Structure 1
Amino acid sequence: MAFALKGVAYITGAGSGIGQYAAYSLARQGVRSFALLDRNPVTKTVTELKKAYPDISIKEIELDVANEAAINDSVDQTVKEFGRIDYALNNAGIGGALKTTDQIDMDDFQRVLAVNTTGVWLCQRAQIRQMLKQEKRTDSYRSYRGSIVNTASMYGLIGPTLNVPSTAYATSKHAVVGLTKADAIAFAPRGIKINALCPGYVATPLVISSMSAGSVMEDERVKVPIQRLAEMEEIGDCVAWLHSDASSYVVGASTVADGGFTIQ
């Protein structure tokens, strides 16, 4: 599926997993200017992108999404380098402990919310402020000043299973869905498209290694109607679609990519 995307992408959590594969998907659709942000090195993502697309331009930025000043500075750096931000993916997040409310302490609970919820809000606020300063890329009715996708989770829509008692994580991702809806309503009339992506279980290296060790993830996999986990490329392609003109009438949506898990 080709979307012919043009413009500048800003991706948090770009060093691995969904952020990494979202960058690959956006590049396949035509994006050639990237700000790639992560607390850890984005070396692998950069290497693969430059190998496949020699004409690509990449700004690497170390970022802790719990740091307000660093987020604002990262947006400023991106705009100084590329002139604007067209496609933002607020993807950085942590899982937190698999504990129920009676087991988790306040510091652990607040740490998950600081990264998964407040971090997304801080990034989105900085991106919105920039996007309000820039014009649409084209005169098409499908065009926007900018598009934002927030990585939520299927556990932003349903409660976690008894096998995966991720209370703090589910709370943080429900908040991301609410934030997405609130800001989508506020800023769609001003030319900014905001959506959430709600993946199910994804075959990241960490999940695959835990399954081979005989973890609860194998028990969860068999609950998925299509009987497998998502490949990271599949979730990356969802990000590209949400940023594209093909989804121009999709606003404030919680787009589910979970193999049917949440319809049971």
Structure 2
Amino acid sequence: MSFALKGVAYITGAGSGIGQSAAYSLARQGVRQFALLDRNPVTSTIQELKKNHSNIEIDDIQIDVADEKAVDHSVERAVKNFGRIDYAFNNAGIGGALNTTDKIEREDFERVLSVNTTGVWLCVRAQIRQMLKQEKLSDSYRSYRGSIVNMASMYGIIGPSAQVPTTAYATSKHAVIGMTKADAVAMAPQGIKINAICPGYVATPLVGTTMNKGSLMDNERLKVPLTRFANMEEIADCVAFLHSEASSYMIGTSLLADGGFTIQ
């Protein structure tokens, strides 16, 4: 899959999982300037990018996306280093405990929302403010001042099953989809494209630490018509698509990549 992307990418949660794979996918499409953000070091991501691509420029920023000042500073820093932000992927998130509402402590519920929802909103706000200051990369009618992709989930569209009571997580991802739609409507006339990606189950470190292995995971896998979980690269390529001119007529969409899980 090739989209011939040019410009600057800003990716949160880039140290592992889908964020890391998104960096690799965007680099394969031609992006050579990256602001890579994570709470943990992004060393392995940087090493892999530099091993496979020449003339690559990377600024790694350690950040908690729930920290307003840190988020604003990270965007300012990326622009200072690279001049602009063209492709933002707000991917950082946490799973939270597998509990129903009656069993969740308030601080646990609010922590999930602070990262998955408020953290995304803080990033989007800072990115929009910057993108409004910059011109489109080209004169093409399919070009934008900038493209933003927010990490949602199939559980932002459907409710989790009784066997997977991800109440806080589902709440946070429904909110991300609502935010994406509202911002997309407001910003499309201003030349900023905003969409969300809604993966189903993906073989990520987050899935491994959030859910116990064994019968539960096997049962969930069997609900997927493809009978397997997604590879991280498959989701990353969807992110690259949403950033490309191939999706130029898509705004405010919640792109499902769930192996058919939600159609049953």
TM-score range, shorter chain: over 0.9
Q: Larger deviation: 214-223 or 9-18?
A: 214-223
2:5 maps to 5
The code of the aligned residue for 1:188 comes to: A
1:103 maps to 103
2:224/2:259 contact within 8 Å kept: yes
Q: Deviations over 1:203-253 (max 9, x none)?
A: 114545888941511110010011000000000000000000000001000
1:160–1:210 distance in 2 versus 1, CA, 3 Å: closer
Q: Deviations over 1:19-41 (max 9, x none)?
A: 00000000000000000000001
Q: Deviations over 1:85-139 (max 9, x none)?
A: 0000000000000000000011100000000000000000000000000000100
1:190–1:235 distance in 2 versus 1, CA, 3 Å: same
Do structure 1's residue 247 and structure 2's residue 247 form an aligned pair? yes
2:183 maps to 183
1:6–1:168 distance in 2 versus 1, CA, 3 Å: same
1:85 maps to 85
CA distance in 1, matches of 2:178, 2:246: 24
Do structure 1's residue 68 and structure 2's residue 68 form an aligned pair? yes
TM-score norm. by structure 1 comes to 0.98
TM-score norm. by structure 2 comes to 0.98
The code of the aligned residue for 1:61 comes to: I
1:33/1:57 contact within 8 Å kept: yes
1:188–1:204 distance in 2 versus 1, CA, 3 Å: same
1:170 maps to 170
1:204 maps to 204
**TM-fit CA distance, 1:54:** 2.5
1:152/1:176 contact within 8 Å kept: yes
1:213–1:97 distance in 2 versus 1, CA, 3 Å: closer
The code of the aligned residue for 2:65 comes to: V
1:155 maps to 155
1:20 maps to 20
The code of the aligned residue for 1:232 comes to: M
Identity rate, percent: 74
**TM-fit CA distance, 1:194:** 0.1
Q: Which runs of 4+ in 1 moved over 2 A?
A: 205-213
The code of the aligned residue for 1:48 comes to: E
* RMSD value, Cα: 1.3
Q: Larger deviation: 70-79 or 203-212?
A: 203-212
1:55 maps to 55
* Unpaired runs of at least 5, structure 1: none
CA distance in 2, matches of 1:32, 1:263: 37
Q: Secondary structure at the match of 1:150?
A: strand
1:137 maps to 137
1:23–1:195 distance in 2 versus 1, CA, 3 Å: same
The code of the aligned residue for 1:239 comes to: V
Q: Secondary structure at the match of 1:102?
A: helix
1:153/1:173 contact within 8 Å kept: yes
